[in-house]
Amino acid sequence: ATFPSSIEEDAGMTHDAHGRDLDRGSGEARTTVAGRPRDARRRRAAARLTGGLAVSVVLAGCAPGAVDTDTTESVTVVEDFFASLEAGRASDAAALTTIDLDEDLVDDDFYRASVARPTDARVVASSGSSAGASVTVEFTLDGVDGPVSLEVRTTRDGDRTTISDLGTADTIGAGQPVSGTLTVNGQVEYPAAELTPVTLLPGAYAVEYTDPTGLLEGLRRGSSFTAYVPDVVREDGGVAEGFAFTPTLRPDVEPGVEEAVEGLRAACEDEGLTGPSCPSELVENARETSRTEWFAEPGPEIRYVDGAYQATAEYTVLLWDDGDLPAEVRASYTGTVSRDAAGKVTFTRT
């Protein structure tokens, strides 16, 4: 009799009843002993096959869907926006945005008073999705050579797509102590001394600087200029700027102050360096017999202080008496600068 197959498998070999080894390569031993492992191999192969199918199904379930690149609604909103601008309907255009726009700047009458409004607008590029997009528009502005380009951003909130950014934020004003106001399109005023942040609709706006003292004007652009939104680059490479404004003294102001101070200095000499036309520093140090040499310091310095323009002209004065070495005195004239009724620059000592 043979040993039980379980022991045979554990022993890794078989014997006959007389203790003789059976041939490991014999068919009987191979059939008897290898039956179960062959079944196990089948089960493992089936398991591997089943597992492979399961993995394939899972991977198929994770396959990405189509990417959302639909910008149709955004393009439509932007086209409607520029159509409203061309028609002068600023309030309708503003209603297509979620931008915090000043009501005065989106008034229809104000916008129609602009130097130019966008015309012939066309979308040249768009990217994004139905949730929001970047839309590039080219349009024409009278007075500008070539098309003007502007990138507009949209956002979808619920079932409505609106313009969320025009890229036209700017500031109006000089941002320094000066008098006067800047008036846009003849209707909306801004103090020139401040920098007021604004966001305007695309277009070309008329700007007028008014200085009640009559002493200042705009540097390079003058006191009347056109502000372009957005900034545009001309064919010659020059930039047609927005509302950037730098005030400067009119050409006759500094010479007028120098002339007035020179008159005081001459009168001081005639008064023997002790009269009312002389600087106080000179009166305290000079004698009637003193000889003088005046050396002007750079200037005069003109500043806007407490609602008026003040000028200071400084000198180093050498006083020669009987000694070999002169006395050195620092002297100055300080006064208020203005224009009289005839338009002449005046200097009144303070």
> pLDDT, tens digit, for every residue of 138-159?
999 998 888 999 999 999 999 9
Mean pLDDT of 76-97: 98
**Mean pLDDT (whole number) for 274-297:** 89
Contact 349, 265 (CB under 8 A): no
pLDDT at position 324 over 90:
no
Peptide bond just before 300 cis, omega within 30 deg: yes
For residues 346 and 324, which has the higher predicted lDDT (pLDDT)?
A: 346
Mean pLDDT of 188-204: 96
Distance between CA atoms of residues 275 and 242, nearest Å: 53
The single-letter code of the amino acid at 125 is A
Mean pLDDT of 54-68: 54
- Predicted TM-score (pTM) of this structure: 0.75
- Position 158 scores a pLDDT of 93
Report pLDDT for 239: 67
| Tokens 């010479």, residue located | 255
DSSP string, 196-248: EEEE--SEEEEEEEE-TTS-EEETTT-SEEEEEES-EE-TTS-EE-SSB--EE
From the list 167, 168, 206, 212, the residue with the least C-alpha distance to 193 is: 212
Question: What confidence tens digit (pLDDT) does each residue in 23-41 have?
Answer: 434 444 343 344 444 454 4
* Coil, helix or strand at residue 255: helix
> How far is it, in rounded angstroms, from Cα 7 to Cα 149?
90
CA distances in angstroms from 322 to 235, 278, 292, 325, 327, listed in the order given: 70, 22, 13, 9, 11
Three-state DSSP class for 267?
helix
| CB 268 within 8 Å of CB 275 | yes
Could you report the per-residue pLDDT of 266-282, keeping only the tens digit for each? 999 999 898 999 999 99
Q: What's residue 65's pLDDT?
A: 63
